[in-house]
Structure 1
Amino acid sequence: MSEQYIAELENCLGYLFKKKELLIEALTHRSFSHENPAKTGVYNERLEFLGDSVLGFVMVEYLFLSKNQFTESVMAKTKSYLVKESVLSEIASSISLGKYLRLGKGEEATGGRTKSSLLADAVEAVLGAVYLDGGYKKAKELILRLFKEKIDTILSSGEFHDFKTELQEKTQLLFNTIPEYRMIKQEGVEHKKIFTVEVDIAGKKFGIGYGKSKK
Structure 2
Amino acid sequence: MNRRKAAVAELEGRIGHVFHDRELLERALTHASVGDGATKVRHYERLEFLGDRVLNLLAAERLMALDVEAREGEMSRLMAALVNYHACARVARRIGLAEALRLAPSASKIGARENDTVLGDACEALMGALYVEGGLDLARTFFLEFWSEEFSRLDEPRIKDPKTQLQEWAQARGMPLPAYKVVNRTGPDHAPSFTVSVSVGEHEPELADGRSRQEAEKAAAMAMLLKREGT
| Fold agreement, TM-score > 0.5 | yes
* Identical aligned residues as a percent: 32
Give the conservation status (yes or no) of the 8 Å contact 2:5–2:100. Answer: no
The 2-side partners of 1:54 and 1:160 are apart by 28
1:32 aligns with 2:34: yes
Q: What are the ranges of 5 or more consecutive residues in structure 1 without an aligned counterpart?
A: 163-180, 184-212
Structure 1 length normalisation: TM-score? 0.68
Q: Could you tell me which residue of structure 1 aligns to residue 16 of structure 2?
A: 14
Give the conservation status (yes or no) of the 8 Å contact 2:7–2:96. Answer: no
Larger displacement relative to structure 2 (129-138 or 83-92): 83-92
Secondary structure (helix, strand or coil) at the match of 2:61 reads: helix
Give the conservation status (yes or no) of the 8 Å contact 1:77–1:161. Answer: no
Secondary structure (helix, strand or coil) at the match of 2:103 reads: coil
Aligned-partner residue type, residue 10 of structure 2: E
Query: In the superposition, relative to structure 1, how do residues 142 and 113 fare at CA in structure 2: closer, same or farther (>3 Å)?
Result: same
The 1-side partners of 2:48 and 2:63 are apart by 22
Structure 2 length normalisation: TM-score? 0.64
Which of structures 1 and 2 has the larger relative contact order (alpha carbons within 8 angstroms, sep 6+)? 1
Instruction: Quote how far apart the aligned CAs of 1:33 are.
Output: 2.4
The 2-side partners of 1:116 and 1:63 are apart by 24
The 1-side partners of 2:87 and 2:111 are apart by 19
Instruction: Quote how far apart the aligned CAs of 1:4 are.
Output: 3.5
Q: Deviations over 1:105-150 (max 9, x none)?
A: 2101101110111000000000000000011001011011110221
Aligned-partner residue type, residue 24 of structure 2: L
Instruction: Quote how far apart the aligned CAs of 1:28 are.
Output: 0.2
Secondary structure (helix, strand or coil) at the match of 2:147 reads: helix
Instruction: Quote how far apart the aligned CAs of 1:31 are.
Output: 0.7
Give the conservation status (yes or no) of the 8 Å contact 2:130–2:139. Answer: yes
The 1-side partners of 2:24 and 2:112 are apart by 21
Instruction: Quote how far apart the aligned CAs of 1:34 are.
Output: 2.8
Q: In the comparison of the two structures, how many residue pairs are matched?
A: 165
Instruction: Quote how far apart the aligned CAs of 1:69 are.
Output: 2.6
Q: What are the ranges of 5 or more consecutive residues in structure 2 without an aligned counterpart?
A: 162-170, 174-228
Q: Please tell me whether Structure 1 or Structure 2 has the larger radius of gyration of its CA atoms.
A: 1
The 2-side partners of 1:34 and 1:125 are apart by 19
Give the conservation status (yes or no) of the 8 Å contact 1:25–1:42. Answer: yes
Larger displacement relative to structure 2 (69-78 or 126-135): 69-78
Q: Could you tell me which residue of structure 1 aligns to residue 152 of structure 2?
A: 152
